[in-house]
Amino acid sequence: MQLYNKLSAKERAELIEKAGKDRLTLSFYQYAKITNPQEFRDQLFIVWDKLDVLGRIYVAKEGINGQLSLPADRFNEFKAHLDTISFLKGIRLNIAVEQDNMSFLKLKVKVRHKIVADGLNDDTFDVTNKGIHVDADKFNELIEDEKTVLVDMRNHYESEIGHFKNAVTPDVDTFRESLDIIEEDLKDHKEDKNLVMYCTGGIRCEKASAYFKHKGFKNVFQLEGGIIEYTRQVNENNLDNKFIGKNFVFDERRAEKISDDVIAQCHQCGEPFDVHTNCANDACHLLFIQCDACKEKMNNCCSTNCKEIHALPFEEQKALRKGQSNSNDIFKKGRADYLPYKKDLRNIFENLKVDKK
């Protein structure tokens, strides 16, 4: 029985093109006790592969986190299958704001230790004791409250291209760093401030809100379904959109446009631009923002050094890489000192009316 993806991304792209059918990109997550993640993972793969599902799905003893695409006309079958699984019955699916048939080109269902890399020890607090979930309407109301501190729970390269107005955007590479910074900066305001959080689809806030409650914060709120669900509700109910720029996503689309504002700039020349790319040098792959003019000039590379290596014959590049692992894994860091226009988000609480003694 086939339990793993066999086609290359290129072969898959050709198949999707040939099929000529619209695909639907969506995501969901659920914390639940899964006793045998490997067995569960294999069952999912068998059913979903037949449904032509593509995506990146993590299964762990603590639950499931899935981002995927499937042919739109098979959505009902897919939903019916989820409904056969007790903890996924009737689950909210976050339908992507901007659709693209090529959002995913492989089906990868992986067993992981956790469904989000959070760097936390679960035994220290109760993850089910989470913050108050708010919808878009209530969220808009809450963030106007002067007692509210609005915090973006994502990483620096995500908030750099889009975030809610007046949000604090910690300049962090990991979720864990964010938790520590927020706790430290707000330690004198655990009771008198509303801590309101958001992330892409809600999963990171699920953990973070429970964590902050455990740490003694009294008024903890989280945006239900994250930016994706917020946007859907704003469009459906004609609400005020308080999000500026793009929503970074972890698939081939890279981002969804939520408002027309371009809030970032090309890391190499400083022109307003908000499309991420990965350095074309296979030994680098740095995630950074590069405008079309710089892309052409630099041959899609992040530095002259990378450009020179990238220009070498393949065999020579391989010889150079021998014994070295990728220095910049995709999505991991997205920082380099030689990029003059990488925005510094470090002074995160400067726009906050909190006195720091």
Binding site residues, Zn ion, CB under 5 A: 266, 268-269, 279, 281, 284, 286, 291, 294, 302, 306
Q: What are phi and psi of 91, to 5 degrees?
A: -65, 145
Q: What are phi and psi of 198, to 5 degrees?
A: -150, 160
The residue (of 175 and 273) whose beta carbon lies closer to Zn ion is 273
The residue (of 119 and 270) whose beta carbon lies closer to Zn ion is 270
CA atoms within 13 A on the CB side of 259: 17
The residue (of 264 and 266) whose beta carbon lies closer to Zn ion is 266
Least distance in angstroms from the C-beta of 246 to Zn ion: 17
Q: CB within 8 A of 190, min separation 6: which ones?
A: 215, 216, 217, 218
The residue (of 107 and 306) whose beta carbon lies closer to Zn ion is 306
The secondary structure of residue 88, as a DSSP letter, is G
The residue (of 88 and 291) whose beta carbon lies closer to Zn ion is 291
Report yes or no: 65 and 29 within 8 Å, Cβ to Cβ.
Answer: yes
Encode 199-218: b = buried (16+ Cβ within 10 Å), e = exposed: bbbbbbbbbbbbbbbeeebe
Compute the distance between CA of residue 274 and CA of residue 263 in angstroms, rounded to an integer.
7
Least distance in angstroms from the C-beta of 47 to Zn ion: 40
Q: What are phi and psi of 221, to 5 degrees?
A: -125, 150
Compute the distance between CA of residue 33 and CA of residue 54 in angstroms, rounded to an integer.
24
Report yes or no: 175 and 351 within 8 Å, Cβ to Cβ.
Answer: no
Active site residue 284: no
Report yes or no: 268 and 290 within 8 Å, Cβ to Cβ.
Answer: yes
Give me the residue label for tokens 């020890």. Answer: 121
Q: Which two tokens stand for residue 237?
A: 């109910």
With residue 307 as reference, give the H or E element that holds it: helix 304-311
The residue (of 182 and 302) whose beta carbon lies closer to Zn ion is 302
Encode 104-123: b = buried (16+ Cβ within 10 Å), e = exposed: bbebebebbebbbebebeee
- Dump strand ranges (E) for 72-173: 94-95, 107-111, 132-134, 148-152, 162-164
The residue (of 148 and 326) whose beta carbon lies closer to Zn ion is 326
- Torsion angle in degrees (nearest 10) through CA of 290, 292, 295, 297: -130
Catalytic center residues: 199
